[in-house]
Structure 1
């Protein structure tokens, strides 16, 4: 078990590589830009304090599988969670499949949306997927560093695959990494594990 001193020391070591980095900004924008670095830009709104550990840019690898797939696939991903000082967080995730040598096989899932914490500790998470699916999640913190959410509504375009429900669990793990697992009910199958990943902080 990691001691408090060890955790603080590990965080300081990570910050030597990530604390000076932030999102690229266009300097001619007439309004403040988003920040994924809590040391820079607008102050985080108090409503978002329960989500503070999520703010940053994260990169890493995971595995995707489902009964409809012929096998499991390795993938890489970048998740950006940023804010502009208002009581919500911006979310963007980009993924790409990897071959057995770790080289890019092809582009994969892409999603964008908003984390909207509420006064009763409920979290609303709205996600729009490039595959034509829009999901509304509700959840609550499980601890100061873990958040569990499930879909309340799923809407899809006529050309999208059938998705009826999903669950996600995010948590800060392994000395500061961001881990998550996702389950999905889709294409006639009941809720089943779909993907999981562990991501390292690269900004913030």
Structure 2
């Protein structure tokens, strides 16, 4: 009979100094490692009203030259009480030798995005190269994301072109790194 191992022998790490040594190509994005949490606001011309949300984002690695990325959000009311689940996405961030980025993100709503971008000291900018949609997915034709890191704080801005609208502001969140 086949016996399953007790533990994953190659766990992901989201904390520097714990788990595997980060691949040298990850150096420009190592400040992203961790679990981030915070709140944001969203809007779009096709929505009846703006909304508030809370979000968790995790960046981790397993020693190879890419980051694993996972984000989930939920809508909150004006007092901060959770209302319902909202966006969710997962993917991979790959750093090339010239410090450019290649990112793949998948959404449970039938959208897969490939991004290209660049990393500077405290700023990351990525923009979609391709967007693939399942037959029932909402029409999204492009997105752009900006990540600004200031110590233990990160601001994420997300622009989107969708449902016949041009690329424009959609989301902005302020996140703080959670203690390990």
| Residues 118-197 of structure 1 aligned to structure 2 (within 5 Å) | 118-141=96-119, 143-173=120-150, 175-197=151-173
What do you get for the CA RMSD once the two structures are aligned? 1.2
2:178 partner SS: strand
Q: Tell me, in whole angstroms, the C-alpha distance in 2 between the residues paired with 1:53 and 1:116.
A: 15
Q: Tell me, in whole angstroms, the C-alpha distance in 2 between the residues paired with 1:37 and 1:119.
A: 23
CA 38–162 in structure 1, closer or farther in 2 if over 3 Å, else same: same
Q: Which has the higher helix share?
A: 1
Q: TM-score, normalised by structure 2?
A: 0.95
Give the drift of 1:29: 2.3
Residue 102 (structure 1) aligns with:
80
Give aligned pairs, total: 176
The higher-RCO structure (CA 8 Å, 6+ apart) is: 1
1:53 partner SS: helix
Give the drift of 1:53: 0.4
Q: 2:20 matched to 1:35?
A: no
Give the drift of 1:203: 3.9
Q: Tell me, in whole angstroms, the C-alpha distance in 2 between the residues paired with 1:93 and 1:135.
A: 14
Q: Tell me, in whole angstroms, the C-alpha distance in 2 between the residues paired with 1:115 and 1:92.
A: 11
Q: Tell me, in whole angstroms, the C-alpha distance in 2 between the residues paired with 1:127 and 1:148.
A: 15
Deviations 1:165-188 (A, max 9, x none): 000000113x42011101000000
* Runs of 4+ more than 2 Å apart: none
Deviates further, 27-36 or 60-69: 27-36
Q: Tell me, in whole angstroms, the C-alpha distance in 1 between the residues paired with 2:161 and 2:178.
A: 32
Give the drift of 1:39: 2.1
Give the drift of 1:91: 0.1
Q: Which has the higher strand share?
A: 2
Q: 1:73 aligns with which of 43, 48, 51?
A: 51
Gaps of 5+ in 1: 1-26
